[in-house]
Amino acid sequence: MPDKVYNVLKKSILEGHFSPGESLPEDLLTEATGASRTPVRAALIRLQADGLVQVEPRKCARVVALNRDEMVDLCEARMIFETAFFERAVKKIPRSVFKKYRQRLQQAADPMLASEDDSKQLQDNLTKYREIDFEFHVHLVAASGNKLWMELHSSILDLFRIYSLVVQKQFPSFYPTAHNQHMEILDSILSEDFAEAKWLLRKHLQNFIFKMSNLYAKT
């Protein structure tokens, strides 16, 4: 039961059912999961260790909310993680794998772009696209062969999953633009112009930082 509750709550947070800063009342969570308070509290402590939840004594737990400076730090860290060993990583991955990623991303993007006027269908298609998107970025870091790098990258990526949903809601054009950037990165890798691919990856990650800056400017 503790593992089940943890997995259910984590999935709900990562899928945007709870927004950054939103409270997580124990009564609501016990009702939603069918579990008692003990496994719910244990799950919240684990989620706090993951950096996804903030638990304070005698207060309601909340989904973590990053301020502007914390978000800048997070984005800078991801930029380093994904570009430091980029060329070493892409040379280890067969070109057939990149071709497959290109195909999968395009197949996921087509219905996403076609459903822009249907909000529910758009969100469903975005979820599918985002799964492939993050898988691609994880694969790039994993191929570096640096296990410590992989662990550190993994520890922050879930926060990007949460905030990518926030950005998408505020800036509907974010993922169509991100998709075009993915295609450019993959095309450069496939043509073995690794320096260009690395530059495009950096530009792609900077696009997220720019959107986040605009988001904080609104609040």
DSSP state, residue 62: E
How many domains does the chain contain in total?
A: 2
Same domain as 189, residue 132 = yes
**Claim to verify: residue 29 and residue 98 sit in the same structural domain:** no
Q: Taking residues 150-166, what's their average pLDDT?
A: 90
| Predicted confidence (pLDDT) per residue in 81-119, tens digit | 999 999 999 999 999 999 999 999 999 999 887 766 656
Neighbours of 9 (CB within 10 A): 26
- Return the CATH number at 148: 1.20.120.530
Examine the domain organization and report whether 170 and 80 are in the same domain: yes
Q: Which domain holds residue 100?
A: 68-218
Q: Residue 56: beta bridge partners?
A: none
Of 184 and 173, the structure prediction assigns the larger pLDDT to: 184
Q: Which residue among 44, 63, 82 closes a domain? A: 63
How far is residue 172's CA from residue 148's CA, in Å, rounded to a whole number? 35
CATH number at residue 59: 1.10.10.10
- Comparing 162 with 112, the larger pLDDT belongs to 162
Q: Rounded distance, CA 51 to CA 108, Å?
A: 29
Identify the residue whose tokens are 């709900």: 12
What is the three-class DSSP state of 54?
Answer: strand
State whether 12 and 104 are in the same domain: no
Q: Do 182 and 75 share a structural domain?
A: yes
pLDDT of residue 216: 78
Residues 98 and 30 in one domain: no
Per-residue pLDDT tens over the stretch 147-156:
999 999 998 9
